[in-house]
Copies of this chain bind each other. A is one copy, B any other.
């Protein structure tokens, strides 16, 4: 009967040490979302396929996890249909639901289904897993968390500044130095227009987005190959690769100037608030351009070789596909897995996240164990994470448990201690030991846990 258990391909367990570190990241992000008045939303893992299909392009549709209908799911299929072996047609008949692929489409569904309940502008955040049937590889999983914050129902550029501030504050709290890059779709459109090929806007955008990877020469060559005049391609490169791409240099035509004005306004708000990390105009930034219609944002770690830790931008028409036109918004997303990797690599997680308790109560005899249980319970009531070894086992064994779990303090109770009400509290790291009353222990441990 016994079987060798395994994880489903591309999925992960988070054991306590990892789970606590992930919680740490999520809590800091969530706290900032809440400080800025964003409201929590939770949607179910399963959506009707009608909600999901056609929203992520043909490739996306292939990456949806589909759920078999329950019961006798074959009953609606005629033998003929079955025999054709035509996968798409059969799928439609045997599967009605799929797993959430991102948090944006469910958000759009919620907004359009609850439009009369929601007060706009609506600021919502959502931190939940999504699933994609991608080929698993290093750093790419089939289940991963997304952390999104969006404001819909207002085109005020103040919200771009709020989201930039949230990035700024979260990464400051996490101790990860970042650069926040910003661009505007109109700047890119103006660039293509001024270079004489407004029709090549998308192509140009995809090419210049590779600037950091392939360098100026290669980008220029690609632009020419795509159909830009040689001198116009050179002009684009001059603008982009200039050592100080100044916003005002991009006021070369009305369309670009629209983008520049928006970016200036965002900057004005941001500087009113004050940022700890640099906000940089990055005219080649073109993240997910098919989706974004205004400002585009990206967060890149400074001094650490790692891709973007988050991104976002302004979009039009979030809910049009669900019959609710004209809802524009702006949103950002945090890449929790990458943030985790950066923090682990740089040793940025605070001490104490790797332990389940601040103190382990160790007892020398059964009577002391009962006494210790009462004491442990009062420490817990005071908010001190406390564990107690389940029996009066050998001292060595109990101390080893404290070491195994990296519990920093050990409190020892024997007959004498319990009679006097004075307990040795041992700092496992330094070996230092103080003899304290219960009240003193609570005070001392409480201070350490702040």
Chain A positions within 8 Å of B, measured between CB atoms, are: 1-8, 11-16, 19-20, 22-23, 34-48, 50-51, 62-63, 65-68, 70-74, 77, 79, 82-83, 85, 87, 90-91, 94-97, 99, 109-110, 112-114, 117, 119, 121, 123-124, 129, 131, 133, 142-143, 154, 156, 158-159, 161, 165, 169, 268-269, 272-274, 320-323, 356-357, 369-371, 373-374, 377, 380-381, 383-388, 390-391, 401, 404-405
A87 touches B73 (CB 8 A): yes
How near does chain B come to A251, taking the closest CB pair, in angstroms?
A: 22
B320 touches A37 (CB 8 A): no
Further pairs besides A19-B42, A154-B391: 20, Cβ < 8 Å: A2-B320, A3-B321, A7-B44, A7-B47, A11-B44, A13-B43, A14-B40, A16-B39, A34-B385, A35-B380, A35-B384, A44-B143, A62-B71, A67-B67, A121-B390, A161-B373, A165-B377, A169-B381, A269-B370, A274-B374
What are 16 A-B contacts with C-beta separation under 8 Å?
A3-B50, A5-B113, A7-B44, A8-B46, A11-B44, A14-B43, A15-B114, A16-B39, A16-B40, A16-B41, A34-B385, A36-B385, A45-B129, A65-B68, A68-B91, A123-B356
B131 touches A37 (CB 8 A): no
- One of B11, B68, B377 near A46 (C-beta < 8 A): B11
A20 touches B40 (CB 8 A): yes
How near does chain B come to A261, taking the closest CB pair, in angstroms?
A: 15
- Look across to chain B and name the residue whose beta carbon is closest to the beta carbon of A124: B16
- One of B5, B62, B129 near A322 (C-beta < 8 A): B5
A74 touches B90 (CB 8 A): yes
How near does chain B come to A67, taking the closest CB pair, in angstroms?
A: 5
Residues of B within 8 A of A42 (CB): 13-14, 19, 22
- Look across to chain B and name the residue whose beta carbon is closest to the beta carbon of A81: B82
A131 touches B46 (CB 8 A): yes
B5 touches A112 (CB 8 A): yes
Binding site of A, secondary structure by majority: helix, strand, loop or mixed? mixed
Which of A82, A99, A142, A274 has most B Cβ within 10 Å?
A82
Nearest 7 pairs of A and B residues by beta carbon: A156-B390, A37-B387, A16-B39, A11-B44, A273-B377, A70-B133, A2-B323
- Look across to chain B and name the residue whose beta carbon is closest to the beta carbon of A43: B13
A14 touches B2 (CB 8 A): no
How far, in whole Å, are A39 and B18 apart by their CA atoms in the complex? 11
A3 touches B43 (CB 8 A): no
A14 touches B41 (CB 8 A): yes
- Look across to chain B and name the residue whose beta carbon is closest to the beta carbon of A383: B35
Known interface pairs A8-B46, A46-B8. Does A68 touch B66 (Cβ–Cβ under 8 Å)?
A: yes
A6 touches B110 (CB 8 A): no
- One of B5, B15, B48 near A8 (C-beta < 8 A): B48
